[in-house]
Amino acid sequence: MSTAASLRRVEGGALSNDKGAIDVTPVILVCSQDAELYLLLAHILHGEGFEARLAVSDDDVVGACTAAEIAAVLLDCAGWPSDVAPLCALLKNSGVSVGALISEGMRAQHLQLIKAGLDEGIMRPLSPSKLLVFLHAAKRRLKAVTLPSAAVLAEFVFEPHAVVVSGKRVALTPLEIRILRFLLERHGEISTRMQVIEAAWLDPHAVETRTVDVHIGRLRKAFTGRSNLRIRTVYGAGYILE
């Protein structure tokens, strides 16, 4: 198998258990035109509790990230049909964790990816240990934004890039959705800025606490007149959702 057409797609999704809870299998988007590499990665991902989804073009990447909850993206830089640095920047702006498979001789491209916000560079031939570190970091981040309680969940329907509340659809970025979910889980409790950062950002160490204020302000503006949702600032402590 050597053509993009020979690559099969392994779809991930959400399943409801007998208690009505939603169990989500983390989806890793693999961006590659190498059939054998994709099948190897799909096998490794399955063994680690992930599902693999294939993308062979920039349009595939954008479409996949719009249609599903993607836990992380793996960019295979070798043979990708376009410049991967802008694609990496686009993904990072959407709040997605990005890892890149990099071959020898790609130093300049690697530096461009780092400037674009790359989370992890993994050298080819593939280093399983470094890949697993990246995957499990993505899994921990996904668990940090699990769905809120059933009572609150009945009022909020989460989509990849929006929230539906009281029949009204509110467009949000993936990062804003993670912040909202975290605050909903702690409904009635004070959350510090650092707690919000650790729960919602893929790289907490690179985020300033004032950045949280900006995104909280955007959430407040997004829900003005559309919900009884209120995010109150507790002076000197953080935020509380009421």
pLDDT digits (tens, 9 = 90+) for 184-226: 888 778 888 888 998 888 777 878 878 888 999 889 888 877 6
* CB within 8 Å of 12: residues ≥ 6 apart: 25, 26, 27, 50, 51, 52, 53, 68
- Co-location of 175 and 103 in the same domain: no
- The more confidently predicted of residues 95 and 129 is 129
- Co-location of 85 and 204 in the same domain: no
Average pLDDT, the chain: 78
- Co-location of 24 and 125 in the same domain: yes
On whether the CB atoms of residues 29 and 69 are closer than 8 A, the answer is no
- Co-location of 66 and 10 in the same domain: yes
What distance in Å separates the CA atoms of residue 57 and residue 64, rounded to the nearest whole number?
Answer: 11
Q: What is the mean pLDDT of residues 21-29?
A: 69
* Domain of residue 100, residue span: 4-143
- Co-location of 47 and 70 in the same domain: yes
Boundary (domain end) residue, out of 95, 120, 143: 143
pLDDT at residue 53, as a whole number: 92
- Co-location of 139 and 160 in the same domain: no
Q: Which CATH number goes with the domain that contains 20?
A: 3.40.50.2300
% the chain with pLDDT above 90:
17
